[in-house]
Every structure is written in C-alpha cells, then in structure tokens.
Amino acid sequence: MPSDGKRNSRCTAMQESDHLFEKVLDLSENGLFLIDSERKIVLWNEWMVKASSIERDEAIGFTFSEVFPALAGKRVASVINAALDSRTASLLSRSLNKAIFPLFFAGGNGEKHRIEQSVTVKPIRSNGDDYCLVQITDVTSMVQREEVLKVLAKEAEEALHAAEDVSRFKSEFTSTVSHELRTPLTSIRGSLGLVSSGVMGALQPEVNKLIDIAYSNTERLLFLINDILDIDKIESGNMSFVMEAVDLMPLLKQAIEANQPYGDQYQVHYCLKEEVAQGIKVHADRDRLMQVFNNLLSNAAKFSSENSDVEINVIQKGGMVRVEVKDSGIGIPLKFQSRIFEKFSQADGSDTRKVGGTGLGLSISKAIMEMMKGAIGFATEEGKGTTFYIDLCLYDAEKVT
C-alpha cells in the first residue's frame, strides 16, 4: 500500500500532467474535442471556445446533441456514432467548401465570419474505454484562395472568348474591307491604264509620269489586297482547289512568258533549261500552280543581279516532278532562312528597300503546295544565288479517282 504522502505526490503529478496536456491542447491551432461512449463531451479546447462561443463548462459533461442541437440527425452525428460504435475514422469534408459546425471568427470590423472547415473524426481507445476525437482545421483562407482562383479562371476564360470574338471580327473585317477595296481599285487601275496609254488624248510628259506612278501604286495595292484575301482564305480553310491533270510544260512556259516583262524591269532573262518529256501531267490546281510559279519567278527577278539569267529546270523523279527556279542573286541571309515562309516576312523589311512586295507570296505558295500534296523548299548561298524548288505529284489516272 502506498503511503498517503506517496499517493498525494502521485496525484499531484497526474494533475500536473493533465494540466500540461490541457495547455498543449489549448495552444493547438485546430479545434479539438473528445466525446466518450455516452456521447458526452469530455474535452473542449480553447480554439473551440473561441470559434463556437461555447464555454468549456457549457460543453463538458453535455452530450454532442445538447451542445449542437442543430446537428442532431446530420451526417456529422452519424459519423461520430460510427466512430464510437464501430471504430471507423472519417474525413468529413471531402470538398473543402463546407462549414460543418457553426463556428465563426471575428473579422477586422467586428463582423463574424463563418469558418470553412476540414473535419476528421477518429476513434480512440484508452484504458478499455472508447472515445471519439473530433479535429477541425480552419481552411477559410484556402477556400478563399480557391474562390479567387475560380474567379481568375473564369475571367481568363471570358478574356479568351473575347479575344476569339475579336479575332473572328478582325478576319471578317479584313475580308469585307479587302473585297470592298478591290472593286473600285480595279476600276481605278483600268482608267489610269487607259489614260496612260494615250487613247484619251496625248498628255504632258509630267502628267504622264504622275499617272504612271498612280497606276503602279494602284497595282501594288491590288497585289496586297489579293494576297490578304488569299491568306484569309487559307486561314479560314476556304481556299478551294480544283485538282486536275495539268499539262506541266505549257503552263510553265505560259508563266515564264507572262513574267518576262517583269523580268525585263530588272534586266533578267528567264531560260527554261531542262525539260521533261512533253505531255507530262501533274496533279494540281492550274490557277494556284500558276500563282506559285508567278511568285517564284518574280522573286528570282527581284532579287537577282542585273543582266543575269534565271534558270528553270524540270526534273522527274519517281512519282514526283520537281521544278527549280535558280537565280544568281543576293541569296538569303542565314538568320532569315527559318522565317522565310512566315507571313509578311522579308529579309529587308525597311522602307528604303529597292523592290516591292508584300512578304506574303512565299507563305501563300507554301500553303498552296501543301494543299496540293506537294512541297516547296530552297537552297541558297549569300551573294551567290538561290534555287527555289517545288515538288508536284505526277498525275496518275489510275490512282486519282
């Protein structure tokens, strides 16, 4: 039998350890309360006192449903029963945005705000008795952050929709304006051409010069508008192709003849070197193929040195035919080569550049070649010249349906 003195000192030690234990629980940043098998609350920490405004002596010794009458019959009550009866632990708030217990914190202006909670319910066995520990974590700031993120995500989505609308509007606007401009410009060009040709009567040389400038500027604008409309068609997937058997050599010769007057401006002569057998047919859209030839031939002349030849070779290889346009001009600078097929890209984009153009021709040519299941490429050496080539599919009547 322990003496009275010993018993007293053990009691004091236990009381001290209980006291220490309660202090530790009171310092916790979580809400903690313990329920015994009779559903009575036996521990209620300081966090709970503050958040629920229920003092310790109003909670301890009372049943869970007496303390939280509004929660009787709710899921939290059955989870607590399950923890005590069948010792099952539960995480109550699967989604964070839940305020299970009526708990509040005071805001800066003295207003009370509901605490968003994450609640775990755990069975505990001690000295043969069953308890249930309820632990509450304040997740208000996480929920608020989540809400802010949701708002931001919604705003970002709205901004994206607005940008898509603007882009659609821009494309429709470009197309409408370009169409509206093309008709009057074509008529202006026609009239200027007539006046300049002298059929309307002879003009003073100075006036004639001005008319010529106006004519060539109108023509430049028309080229730009046609290119923009083509890009618009490519990007909206509305460029239509009539794929057929195209007699290659006559079309190429026609392109060379049509471009020779332009070549003459740069004193460049086109010469068709290698020819494949007459009658060779490629699978292509005639007008679009002509457009690609026009761009490659005009580029070769623009970027050639004066009094030089541009060589055109046609080589057949397997089921493909390659058309090469070879100039001995300025070449393409290395740092520009990777961007050459991009829209509006020109090696010399300055206002003072000597030759005209939109920087759209190669980008359109590439799209056309890809849509005709062909290819476009180049080999170049700065200061020596450039060879552009296109690969076309041979027309095979059996394969093409």
Ligand X SMILES: Nc1ncnc2c1ncn2[C@@H]1O[C@H](COP(=O)(O)OP(=O)(O)O)[C@@H](O)[C@H]1O
Site of interaction with ligand X (CB under 6 A)? 295, 299-300, 303, 327, 329-330, 332, 340, 345-348, 357-363, 386
Interacting positions 286-315 with Mg ion (CB under 5 A) = 295, 299
Interaction partner, residue 347 (Mg ion, ligand X, none; CB < 5-8 Å by kind)? ligand X
Give the tokens for residue 9: 């000192």
Find the residue with minimal CB distance to ligand X.
Answer: 357
Q: Please state the closest distance from residue 327 (CB atom) to ligand X, in A.
A: 5
In the shown chain, the binding pattern of residues 229 to 248 toward Mg ion, with x for contact by CB under 5 A and - for none, equals --------------------
Q: In angstroms, rounded to a whole number, what is the distance separating the alpha carbons of residues 387 and 278? A: 23
Q: Is 217 helix (H, G, I), strand (E, B) or coil?
A: helix
Look at the alpha carbons of 147, 149, 150, 151 in this order and tell me if their dihedral is positive or negative.
Answer: positive
CA distance 346 to 360: 9
The smaller minimum CB distance to ligand X, of residues 20 and 379, is found at 379
Vertex 313 angle, CA 309 and 317, to 5°: 165
- Find the binder of Mg ion among 361, 363, 374, 391 (CB under 5 A): 361
Interatomic CA distance for residues 338 and 363, integer angstroms: 12
Considering the complex, state which of residue 61 and residue 377 has its C-beta at the smaller distance from ligand X: 377
Q: How far is the CB of 366 from Mg ion (least distance, A)?
A: 12
Q: Scanning residues 26 to 85, which ones bind Mg ion (CB under 5 A)?
A: none
Cβ-based nearer residue to ligand X, 360 or 372: 360
- Does position 331 interact with Mg ion (CB under 5 A)? The reply is no
Does 380 bind Mg ion (CB under 5 A)? Our answer is: no
Q: Say if CB 114 and CB 103 are below 8 A apart.
A: yes
In angstroms, the CA 30 to CA 106 distance is 16
Which single residue is written with the structure tokens 């301890």?
60
Which residue, 80 or 332, has its beta carbon nearer to ligand X?
A: 332
- What is the DSSP code string of 187-208? HHHHHHHHHHHTTT----HHHH
**Which stretch in 22-30, 233-241, 319-327, 357-365 sits in contact with Mg ion by CB under 5 A?**
357-365
- When CB distances to Mg ion are compared, the closest residue is 361
Measured from the CB of residue 367, what is the shortest distance to Mg ion in angstroms?
14
Question: Cα(77)–Cα(81) distance, rounded to whole angstroms?
Answer: 6
38, 46 in Cβ contact below 8 A? no
Residues in touch with Mg ion (CB under 5 A): 295, 299, 357, 361
